[in-house]
Amino acid sequence: MKAKSLATGKQSVAATQAAQDSPLRVLSLLPGATDTVRALGAANLLIGRTHECDWTELQTLPIVTSDKLGDMPPADLDAAMAACGGALPTLGWCGGGIALLDQGLSPYRTDVEQLVMLRPDVILTQMQGLGPDLTPDHYQSPLEQLLGYMPTVVQLEALEMEGVWRDMRSISEALKLGREGLEKISSERGRERGVLRTCHLSILCLPSLCNAYHHGTLSTLTMCVGLLPPSPVAIST
């Protein structure tokens, strides 16, 4: 009996060690997050992507998002997105669970069934509608119920350039990249400073470029800055 108990204990320790040694399973629900993971040299950790992620080497990954509203004029789209966001707290209050995850876990519709099948350790996203009436707990509770465990959810919320770097550090930490991740971030920041010096830009606010970060790529962000006129300008809304 004692020998059997020892054997069971060893198997449990071995299983725990194997789980710890396995690569993290990272699900990206934002194109900008996907590109940040790639910029950090950790694309091999990705197990799923958005329908807008277009890197050639990632096309075989399962798609976990789709358009929430379809094609419509920008003005109508903004109003429709605002209406959707306004409805999310109600789903949170009434325990909407799957519906809340479907409509609000990312800016797109999230395929909750696919998410459950992929069993991510880390989810990179931008939860919608957060505020006094809707908190991350409203999302995390149904997520934990569906998965049977609580993954690490990294909420990306940059509204200016410094926020981009904070988000990048948050992703690096969640992916446990350590010194290598910090070195990659330092390298990207060096590229940004070089572009700004070359273009002689005085940038006060970059909401449109940060939108490119969330819905495009980190490299697109730098490229956008590089394409601005090479004369002193101040960008603001």
Given a contact cutoff of 8 angstroms between Cβ atoms, the answer to whether 217 and 32 are in contact is yes
Helix and strand totals (H; E) in the chain: 10, 6
Q: What tens-digit pLDDT sequence spans the chain (237 residues)? A: 555 555 555 544 444 444 556 899 999 999 999 999 999 999 999 999 999 999 999 999 999 999 876 665 666 555 655 555 555 655 544 556 788 898 888 889 999 999 999 999 999 999 988 888 888 888 898 999 999 999 999 999 888 888 889 999 999 999 999 999 999 999 888 877 766 666 544 444 444 444 444 555 454 454 444 434 343 434 333
Predicted local distance difference test score (pLDDT) of residue 229: 39
- This prediction has a pTM of 0.73
Centre a 10 Å sphere on the Cβ of residue 77 and count the other Cβ atoms it contains. 14
- Give the C-alpha separation, 177 to 183, whole Å: 10
**Domain formed by 23-190, architecture:** 3-Layer(aba) Sandwich (3.40)
Whether residue 204 contacts residue 236, with contact meaning beta carbons closer than 8 Å, is answered with yes
Cα torsion at 22, 23, 27, 28 (round to 10°)? 170
**Where exactly are the structural domains of the chain?**
23-190
Per-residue tokens: 57: 């080497």
